[in-house]
A = this chain, B = another copy of it.
Amino acid sequence: MTLSHKALGFTLALVSLGAICPPADAEEGMWTFDNLPLKLLRQKYGFTPTQAWLDHLRLSCVRLNDGGSGSFVSAHGLLLTNHHVARGQLQKNSTKEQDYIRDGFYAARPEAEMKSPDLEVNVLQSMENVTPHVAAALQGAKTPEEEFAKRRAAIADIERESLRKTGLRSDVVTLYQGGEYWLYRYRKYTDVRLVFAPEEQAAFFGGDPDNFTYPRHDIDMALFRVYDNGKPLDTRDYLRWNAQGAKDEELVFVAGHPGSTSRMDTLAQLEVERDFTTPGLLKMLRHRIATLRRYSALGAEQAREAGSDIFGMENSVKALDGRLKGLLDKDVWDTKRKQEEAFRALVMANPQSKAAYGGAWDQIAQAEKKAATRSKERWFHSTGSDLLGLANNIVQYVAEVKKPDAQRLPGFHEAQLESLRYEMFSPAPIYPGLEIAKIAGQLEQDIAEMGPNDPYIKILLDGRGPNEVAQALIKGTKVGDPEFRKQLVEGGEAAVAASGDPMIALARKLDPLRREFTKWMEDNVQSVEQRAGEQIGKARFAAYGKDAYPDATFTLRLSYGQVKGYPMNGTQAPSKTTFYGLYDRAQSFDFRGPWYLPSRYKEGKDKLDLSTPLDFVTTNDIIGGNSGSPVVNRAGEIVGLVFDGNIESLVGDFVYEGETNRTVAVHTAAMTEVLRKLYNAPALLKELLEP
Please, which residues of chain B bring their CB within 8 A of the CB of A210?
Answer: 571
Determine whether the beta carbon of B213 is less than 8 Å from that of A569. Answer: yes
The answer to whether the Cβ of A11 comes within 8 Å of any Cβ in the partner chain is no
A575 to chain B minimum Cβ distance, whole angstroms, is 8
Of listed A206, A209, A213, A584, residue having the most chain B CB within 10 A: A584
When the two chains form the complex, which single residue of B212, B571, B576, B584 contacts A209, counting CB atoms closer than 8 Å?
Answer: B571
Determine whether the beta carbon of A569 is less than 8 Å from that of B572. Answer: no
Against B, the Cβ 8 Å flags (1 = close, 0 = not) of A587-627 are 11110000100000000000000110000000000000000
List A202-235 residues whose CB lies under 8 Å from chain B: 206, 209-213, 215
Q: Roughly how many angstroms separate A213 CA and B647 CA in the complex, as a whole number?
A: 18
Against B, the Cβ 8 Å flags (1 = close, 0 = not) of A560-595 are 000000001111101111101101110111100001
Q: Roughly how many angstroms separate A584 CA and B216 CA in the complex, as a whole number?
A: 11
List A165-222 residues whose CB lies under 8 Å from chain B: 206, 209-213, 215
Determine whether the beta carbon of A568 is less than 8 Å from that of B569. Answer: yes
The answer to whether the Cβ of A318 comes within 8 Å of any Cβ in the partner chain is yes
The answer to whether the Cβ of A405 comes within 8 Å of any Cβ in the partner chain is no
Determine whether the beta carbon of B647 is less than 8 Å from that of A570. Answer: yes
Query: Chain A interface residue count: which class?
Result: 20 to 34
Q: Roughly how many angstroms separate A101 CA and B572 CA in the complex, as a whole number?
A: 24
The answer to whether the Cβ of A248 comes within 8 Å of any Cβ in the partner chain is yes
Please, which residues of chain B bring their CB within 8 A of the CB of A590?
Answer: 248
Please, which residues of chain B bring their CB within 8 A of the CB of A588?
Answer: 215, 574-578, 581
Q: Roughly how many angstroms separate A209 CA and B569 CA in the complex, as a whole number?
A: 10
Determine whether the beta carbon of B570 is less than 8 Å from that of A577. Answer: no
When the two chains form the complex, which single residue of B248, B570, B580, B595 contacts A213, counting CB atoms closer than 8 Å?
Answer: B570
Of listed A213, A569, A576, A577, residue having the most chain B CB within 10 A: A569
Determine whether the beta carbon of A569 is less than 8 Å from that of B571. Answer: no
Known pairs A213-B569, A569-B213, A647-B569; A585 contacts B589 (CB<8 A)? no
Determine whether the beta carbon of B571 is less than 8 Å from that of A206. Answer: yes
Please, which residues of chain B bring their CB within 8 A of the CB of A585?
Answer: 574, 581
A326 to chain B minimum Cβ distance, whole angstroms, is 13
Known pairs A587-B580, A588-B576; A570 contacts B318 (CB<8 A)? yes
Q: Roughly how many angstroms separate A241 CA and B212 CA in the complex, as a whole number?
A: 40
A375 to chain B minimum Cβ distance, whole angstroms, is 27
Determine whether the beta carbon of A587 is less than 8 Å from that of B611. Answer: yes
Of listed A209, A570, A577, residue having the most chain B CB within 10 A: A570
Q: Roughly how many angstroms separate A534 CA and B237 CA in the complex, as a whole number?
A: 81
Please, which residues of chain B bring their CB within 8 A of the CB of A595?
Answer: 574
A175 to chain B minimum Cβ distance, whole angstroms, is 32
Please, which residues of chain B bring their CB within 8 A of the CB of A568?
Answer: 569
When the two chains form the complex, which single residue of B213, B583, B647 contacts A610, counting CB atoms closer than 8 Å?
Answer: B583
Determine whether the beta carbon of A570 is less than 8 Å from that of B248. Answer: no
Q: Roughly how many angstroms separate A574 CA and B210 CA in the complex, as a whole number?
A: 12
Q: Roughly how many angstroms separate A570 CA and B318 CA in the complex, as a whole number?
A: 9
Against B, the Cβ 8 Å flags (1 = close, 0 = not) of A538-556 are 0000000000000000000
Please, which residues of chain B bring their CB within 8 A of the CB of A322?
Answer: 570
Please, which residues of chain B bring their CB within 8 A of the CB of A574?
Answer: 585, 588-589, 595
Please, which residues of chain B bring their CB within 8 A of the CB of A589?
Answer: 574
Q: A574-B589, A574-B595, A578-B584 are in contact. List 6 more A-B contacts (CB 8 A).
A: A206-B571, A576-B588, A578-B583, A580-B580, A580-B587, A581-B584
Query: Can you list 9 A-B contacts (CB < 8 A)?
Result: A209-B572, A210-B571, A215-B588, A569-B647, A576-B588, A578-B587, A581-B581, A581-B585, A583-B611
A residues whose Cβ falls under 8 Å from a Cβ of B: 206, 209-213, 215, 248, 318, 322, 568-572, 574-578, 580-581, 583-585, 587-590, 595, 610-611, 647
Q: Which 4 A-B pairs have the closest CB atoms?
A: A574-B588, A580-B584, A581-B584, A570-B647
